[in-house]
Amino acid sequence: MERVWAPWRMEYINSTAGKSNNRCFLCVDGRDDEKALIVGRKNKAFVIMNRFPYTNGHVMVVPVRHTGLIEELTDEESLDMMALVKIMVAIFKEEFNVDGLNIGINVGRAAGAGLEEHTHIHIVPRWFGDTNFMPVVGETRVISEHIEASYKKLKRRFIEKVL
């Protein structure tokens, strides 16, 4: 039997519904973007790496303001979020040579929202052949690149795109 080591998953397993210390993990203070894995910012929104990714490079676009109601986003928050989605799509196409991207918002637990209290948009890079028997048979996802390596690539390209 093959073993796939993913020790970073223990942080999620030990947390309660994706929360640590009863604090929203998407409410970041901005003092240490690298530690928080913030790829980039735009006024009212930011891009953050998903610490528990579905695939290599999985990010989320998040409003700075804590709200779980998409209908309560201001126009500026919505525009900043969509501008960041567009930037990340271009970066994934150029840097990661993706075959496609899943982009979506899960609204409500029934729709798959793991965190209902803070609206966010998932951007999941996809490649032909990126899914195999592991998730189905082994209930295991294989991530091909360390999250810090993905972060450095995305951060570098974000800075190039924005500046």
Catalytic site residues?
120
DSSP letter string over 94-107?
Answer: HHS--SEEEEE---
Start-to-end Cα distance in the chain:
48
Task: Quickly tell me which residue has 């409410």 as its tokens.
Answer: 27
What long-range pairs does 40-43 form, CB within 8 A, spacing at least 24? 40/84, 40/87, 40/155, 40/158, 40/159, 40/162, 42/80, 42/83, 42/84, 42/162, 43/76, 43/80
